[in-house]
Structure 1
Amino acid sequence: MSSTDSVLDHHLEMFGECNLDGIMEDYAADATFISDSGVLHGTDEIREMFADLLEEFDDPSVEFSLDERVIEDEYAYIVWHAETPAHEYEFASDTFIIRDGEIVTQTLAADVSPKD
């Protein structure tokens, strides 16, 4: 069984590498992803969202900064900001609930501005 810390480390590493299969290894089959865009249920819906997101982040000019990381038992919280060719992510935060080595719930809140 993986710890909350190691699952988050793997998730961030795979996102940084734009490795969709690696990202999806971290999610329970019945995971839930909640954001202002709605609720995604299960790995098929979550995979589709990440596939779209990685198209934007898979560019050598992307700048990503992890500003805060808090781990408490099965909960992980991160604050980050990023700049891609298409958007500026001025402030973003994710909360993860990780049980038995898998992400069972993730939330995302972000202040995103499109670039002109």
Structure 2
Amino acid sequence: MQTLAANLTQILNHHIEAIKSRDLQANMIDYHENAILILGEDVFRGKEAIQGFFKFLFESIFTEGFTIDIQKQVIEEDIIYIVWQARSSTYEIPQATDTFLIQDGLILRQTGFAIMNPI
């Protein structure tokens, strides 16, 4: 039987791979129907709103040549915390962080922060 930490690692890995490949549908598989994503003052409620946000990311920021490096990963019970940096043809992200609350194998809540510099 798979441990909770291994299961959460698998969920995170799938989420990151979907983002790396800029695959919107694969990315959205990871989200609960009633998920909430909080990024600073922006709050996206529900899978449809979150999908709209990622569509914008893939078209504007996570463009061709997008690379991401996970620098730190902490899994504690049903929470995942990551620190990462990324680069695309349009932006450099020297520091970013996300926290995920997982329920029933899906992302139920997510918060994030990123320093983003246009190239």
Work out whether the TM-score is over 0.5. Answer: yes
**Match of residue 33 from structure 1:** 37
Structure 1 segments (4+ residues) deviating >6 Å: none
From the superposition, tell whether residues 54 and 35 of structure 1 become closer, same or farther in structure 2 (CA, over 3 Å): same
Q: 1:15 aligns with which of 5, 13, 19?
A: 19
Percent identity between the aligned chains?
33
> Does the residue aligned with 2:19 lie in a helix, a strand or coil?
helix
**Match of residue 72 from structure 2:** 68
In the alignment, the residues of structure 2 paired with residue 94 and residue 83 of structure 1 have an alpha-carbon distance, to the nearest angstrom, of 16
Q: Is the 8 A contact 1:35 1:108 kept in 2?
A: yes
Q: CA deviation at 1:37?
A: 4.3
TM-score normalised by length of structure 2: 0.88
Tell me which moved more, 1-10 or 13-22.
Answer: 1-10
Tell me which moved more, 81-90 or 27-36.
Answer: 81-90
Paired amino acid for 1:57: F
Q: Identify which of structures 1 and 2 has the higher relative contact order when contacts are C-alpha pairs closer than 8 Å and 6+ apart.
A: 1
Structure 1 stretches of 5 or more lacking a match? none
In the alignment, the residues of structure 1 paired with residue 106 and residue 87 of structure 2 have an alpha-carbon distance, to the nearest angstrom, of 28
In the alignment, the residues of structure 2 paired with residue 48 and residue 99 of structure 1 have an alpha-carbon distance, to the nearest angstrom, of 22
